[in-house]
Amino acid sequence: MTTLHASTPLGTPVVPAAIRKIVHRTGGRQHGPVTRLVSPGDLGGLIKPFVFLDWARFEADAFEKAGFGWHPHSGIATLTLILDGAIHYADSTGAKGVLESGAVEWFEAAGGAWHSGGGVEAGAVYQLWVALPPGLENGPATSRYLSPENFPRRGPVRVILGQWEGITSPIPAPSPMTYLDVILKAGEVWRFDPPAGQDVAWIAVHSGAVNVPETVASGELVVFEHGDGAIVFQADQDARFILGAAAKHPHDLVLGHYSVHTSQQALQDGESNYRQVGKGLKLRGII
Strand partners, 211: 215, 234
DSSP 121: E
Q: What is the pLDDT of residue 69?
A: 86
> Could you give the CA distance from residue 122 to residue 18 in angstroms, rounded to a whole number?
42
111 three-class SS: coil
pTM exceeds 0.75, yes or no: yes
- For residue 281, give the H/E element and its range: helix 264-283
pLDDT for res 119? 84
Question: What domains sit in the chain, N to C, each tagged with a CATH number?
Answer: 4-259 (2.60.120.10)
Q: How far apart are CA 38 and CA 147, in angstroms?
A: 26
What is the per-residue pLDDT for 18? 65
User: Following CA atoms 107, 220, 245, 73 in sequence, which dihedral angle do they give, to the nearest 10 degrees?
Assistant: 20
Q: Are 103 and 148 in contact (CB under 8 A)?
A: yes
- Residue-wise pLDDT tens for the chain (287 aa)? 333 443 344 344 444 446 899 999 999 999 888 999 999 999 999 999 999 999 998 876 655 554 478 999 999 999 999 999 999 999 999 999 999 999 999 999 999 999 998 888 889 999 999 999 999 999 999 999 999 999 988 999 999 999 999 999 999 999 999 999 999 999 999 999 999 999 999 999 999 999 999 999 999 999 999 999 999 999 989 999 999 999 999 999 999 989 999 999 999 999 999 999 999 999 999 99
DSSP assignment, residue 74? B
Are 48 and 249 spatial neighbours (Cβ–Cβ below 8 Å)? yes
